[in-house]
Amino acid sequence: VQLVESGGGLVKPGGSLKLSCAGSGFTFSTYAMNWVRQAPGKGLEWVSSISSESHYIYYADSVKGRFTISRDNSKNSLFLQMDSLRAEDSALYFCVYTVPGALGSFDYWGQGTLVTVSS
């Protein structure tokens, strides 16, 4: 099983960035997927979740209206479009899956991609 995030980098406040996550070694299309972030030296913060067929999408209040989660099951890929970025969005962003039938758990994590928002 692998979850490999990419797309992180340095961006100015107000800018945009799109993160990607490539899944392999499991049946991607049957798993709910999530983004969880961790600011440097801080705790974990749930960002967004998407069901296996994209019927259900949820966001944390801190990113609602600015971030958009999506997935392409034909390419085993998860995305996070981040707009209107703020300094407080700077963090390591983890791609995480939830096994089918599980409710609310984060069962397997990628290694993360770092986003830095700074002028």
Partner 1 sequence: SYELIQPPSTSVSPGQTARITCFGDVFPNQFAYWYQQKPGQAPVLVIYKDTERPSGIPERFSGSTSGTTVTLTITGVQAEDEADYYCQSPDSGGIYRVFGGGTKLTVL
Distance CA 64, CA 2 (A): 28
CB of 10 to partner 1, least distance (A): 21
- Kindly state whether residue 23 participates in binding partner 1, applying the rule CB under 8 A: no
Sign of CA dihedral 71, 12, 66, 37: positive
Pair 70, 22: CB distance under 8 Å: no
Joined together, the tokens standing for residue 76 give 């085993």
CB of 58 to partner 1, least distance (A): 5
- Kindly state whether residue 109 participates in binding partner 1, applying the rule CB under 8 A: yes
For partner 1, the closer of residues 74 and 104 by Cβ is 104
Cβ-in-10-Å burial (0-12, 13-18, 19+) of 66 comes to middle
* Contact window for partner 1 (CB under 8 A) among 8-16, 17-25, 73-81, 103-111: 103-111
- Kindly state whether residue 103 participates in binding partner 1, applying the rule CB under 8 A: yes
Q: How many helices (H) and strands (E) does the chain have?
A: 0, 11
Residues 25-64 that bind partner 1 (CB under 8 A): 34, 43-46, 49, 58, 60-61
Count the site residues for partner 1 by CB under 8 A: 21
Q: For binding to partner 1 (CB under 8 A), which residues are involved?
A: 34, 43-46, 49, 58, 60-61, 94, 102-112
